[in-house]
Amino acid sequence: MPITTIMIVDDHFVVRNGLVTSLEIEPDLKVVATADDGESAAELYMKHQPGVVLMDMQLPGIGGAEASALIRAKDPEANILIFSTFARDEEIVASFEAGASGYLQKSASREELLEALKLVAAGHRYLPADLAQRLTHLQLGPSITPREREIIALVAKGSANKEIAAELGISEDTVKQHVSRILQKLGAKDRAQATAEAIRRGIVKLE
């Protein structure tokens, strides 16, 4: 029987251990590595070369989408299943754009998790029917870039353009250009509306 090797990335110790215990009951699954943040996940991936990565979306430091992009940059054939508490539109889209092959909420049944893991490990895509239907009708427009994510996060904190420029080491004119593009992409008239929309889409997380 072929064995599917798995790496689990989740910053909660109890969740990681619970997943290891639950998955290794299956005779054809083996957890070969665990990580509690995105940066170490990329390093461990190259060391263990798992058949599939089970990746949490909300991680300290870089998030699950960014960690997925790091792994895929090292290995374009990497199979990644995002396993998240939430199912925000922007996060799902960002995950697939970063190279993940599947997205599943943590509220899913164990049977669905096993099915998703095996499909993604075999090179297939996985997205529950309700999420797939939602995304079909979603009009997100152009993607928000990593730099724009940084800027809208600072806008959400109330930072002025001059403060953002100093924080990121770029010119104030560059910040203005980024803010203008962010407003356009989010369909917002002003900074307050852009902040509200960014929070709704999961681009900005409330503290």
| 58: pLDDT strictly greater than 60 | yes
Task: Report the DSSP beta bridge partners of residue 8.
Answer: 34, 54
In this predicted model, what pLDDT tens digit does every residue of 139-191 receive, in sequence order?
Answer: 445 677 778 888 999 999 999 999 999 999 999 999 999 999 999 888 889 99
Average pLDDT, the chain: 90
Share of the chain above pLDDT 90, in %: 68
**What top-level class would CATH report for the domain 4-136?**
alpha beta
pLDDT at 140: 47
Side chain identity, residue 75: D
Task: Report the alpha-carbon angle 107-98-72, nearest 5.
Answer: 105
Q: Quick one: pLDDT band at residue 207, thresholds 50, 70, 90?
A: low
Domain 146-201 has CATH 3.30.1360.200: no
| 202: pLDDT strictly greater than 80 | no
Residue 108 backbone phi and psi in degrees, to 5? -65, 160
Mean pLDDT of 26-36: 97
- The candidate with the shortest Cα–Cα distance to 55, out of 2, 101, 108, is 101
| Structural domain boundaries in the chain | 4-136, 146-201
Separation CA 65–CA 73 (nearest Å)? 12
Low-confidence winner among 6-10, 24-28, 96-100, 180-184 (lowest mean pLDDT): 96-100
Two structure tokens written together for 142: 């152009």
SS3 195: helix
Low-confidence winner among 61-75, 86-100, 129-143, 191-205 (lowest mean pLDDT): 129-143
Mean pLDDT of 185-204: 85
Provide the CB-side half-sphere exposure for 143 (13 A, CA). 11
Radius of gyration of the chain (CA): 18
SS3 102: strand
